[in-house]
A and B are shown apart, each in its own frame.
Chain A
Amino acid sequence: MVYVGPFETADSCRKWKEEYDLTFPVVPDEEGVLFQRLTSGWVPWSILVGPDGEVLFSENEFDETGFSVAIARLFHQEAEAEPAAPESTQPTPTARGAPDTANIVILGGGAGGVVAANKLRKRLGPDHRIVVIDRSPDHLFQSSLLWLMVGDRREDQIRRPLERLTRKGIEFLHDEVLEIDLERRRVRTREGPIHFDYLIVALGAQTIPESVEGFSEMAHDLYSLEGCRNIQKALDTFTGGRVGVLVTSMPFKCPAAPYEAALLIESYLRTRGVRDRSEIHLYTPEHQPMPVAETALGGAIVEILRRRGIHFHPLFTFEKIRPDTREIVAADGHAERVDLLIAVPPHRAPEVVRSSGLLGVSGWIHVDPETLRTEHEGVFAIGDVTAIRLPSGKSLPKAGVFAHNEAEVVASQIAYEIRGRGRQARFDGKGYCWIEIGDGRAGFAGGRFYSDPEPRVRIARPGRLWHWGKVAFEKWWLRRWF
């Protein structure tokens, strides 16, 4: 075992080794060259290398199942389950003839599921059944939670009943998926089993705040409706002190969200007249904001944070929250006191996916980057539940824009297979997002994430126009798909 310390010196590594009595080598990476090349830009990152130099595993906080498979391979033992190939660029050929009346089941009514259902309904005749299953009765436009957090939106403005899809000839089942049975080609819900000819897994990432010690006692969840309601109440009564915005672990969806949250909160506290009695700190395991993109993008966001007096703590190896002393504690015991804590909880694939056999070594579903097919015939996965390795070696960020674009591709793939004509779209890795910075202004970043060797992403200068662009997009999206 070897520890590599990004941006550490030989001297600091020696002290580190002595202080913690580490029995294995601790190697400095003073300029961060190895860190930039071998990781997705955050800590911790683990790479398992065989004696011949072959990389068996290269992920951040690893999924236990995936890591066991890699270890088993290392010792030349037979693993129970082989992971899906992470980087196939070829579509899986289908030997099966398309059914005359297909059952297309879509798991999840988030951005990906809703777009896929709409697009399929438009392309396929009424003989083909399209079913969306979600345990929530409503679709929530998640990126608007940031506006709700600072009182700029009401709940009813950012929610839509999924039942509305039935007006378009799409079935909606308000039910929970208990099992994905790939062998028998059916999903089991509380109401019973549903057969599928085609399955689209769009279940997103599950957030698990309960896995963090002290979270429920002290932190507000930035990624839930209830959490954002509570943040709004807390900000309204905040009289000054230290605000912490914390990213507990990687990866997390919507990579700009914690930065937007810090900037919106800064603006909000200024409006309330308590900014001069407050400090805002942002803690993250990332080296820079949105590390998958070019350094210039992260640098531009760090500069905005700096100008607004927000303290940035990169490479923060968070471990737990200590409510009795109101501290967040790093893995090495370093603690920071916080009066108001707003946190991004850990993410993982939903339980039903974890037990389905669809999971890859990363702990997410590995799919073909262009067709979104899994290794199972007729089974696709889109959005946050997937892991797509980019040509740069980093992972495609989890964001609604990708779920949306991937849904369009999957709808065209399935429709083509059923109808035998039309266009078979391919996902090209294009994506964009608005970055709210408060005071009615926003930036805009977008580009090609499949560019080789690195994603080509540009950020436009923040301004009021981009903010209104985001408002218009929210309104268009909710009207277009419901």
Chain B
Amino acid sequence: MTNAIETFKLTRAFNGLTAVDKLDITVESGEIFALLGPNGAGKTTTISMLCTILKPSSGTAKVNGFDIVKEAMQVRRSIGIVFQDPSIDDRLTGRENLFMHANLYGVPASEQKNRIDGVLKLVELEDRADDLMRTYSGGMRRRLELARGLIHYPKVLFLDEPTIGLDPQTRDHVWKYIRELKEAHDITVVLTTHYMDEADRLSDRIAIMDYGKIIALDTVPNLKETLEGDVIIIIAQNLDAVVSLVTEKMGLSHSHVVNGTVEVTVKNGKSMLPRIVDAATQNQIFVESISLREPNLEDVFLHYTGRTIRAEGGKEPHGISAIKRRRIR
């Protein structure tokens, strides 16, 4: 198995703030690799450097064997990018956008028509291909952008927050396309997301990123396994008392307050559950409800960072970019 991407202490700082900190990751050919983290974790900065849009402050990376600093043109020719924000010309038709892209990426004129028909079919936009893109819905625009990223047969496709701002149904659709594209074209996909379900459903491996660093990197099952067990959810009047009870008196190290509940990760949930109730009763803590569930990616994130992915970094788009997104999606 060859590597599609290798980074070597890849670093980028903005005015003294280190957005990406000595990143060392390897993405294998043919896998779907997700960079998961809250907004501001450095995902987009990482992708921007790999796509040669941003120059690293130090360190470097290889994409398809080309150095992102010294061989930027070769890197650009060998990758496809779907940006976080829309990047189509809405006064051209879908097909015209695709032709333009094919020309920009030097696709031979004799092959352009065939390839464009092919990708249009893949994202089921043949019927609308000759309409101006301003008449497209948000989901259709996204699909066309996905199709566009493939026309020049890239070896690696970068997707920056591919389903941000889309409704659940359209997201499902886009996920389906991404998987189909990967199968049909045998490419490597690198995506960033702050949606747990997106990373969970799409990717082979996930790198959890926070404050510019990778804090965990593995397959989804392995990541969940590191939690060693189940999650017990407790609702009580005094949450702090519950936390100190389970950590100090019972010696369970992985407990967090999440959305007005206490979540405790334990090895054997079924046997631990009654013991927590007993211990609480002995210490005059009234437990309103208690339940058990399988761990999910959110727990993995919580486990490594001590925070939920939503809790902080809630930097929603504001100002003109928010208006634009609303207008366009």
Physical interaction between A and B: no
Residues in B lying within 8 Å of A, measured CB to CB? none
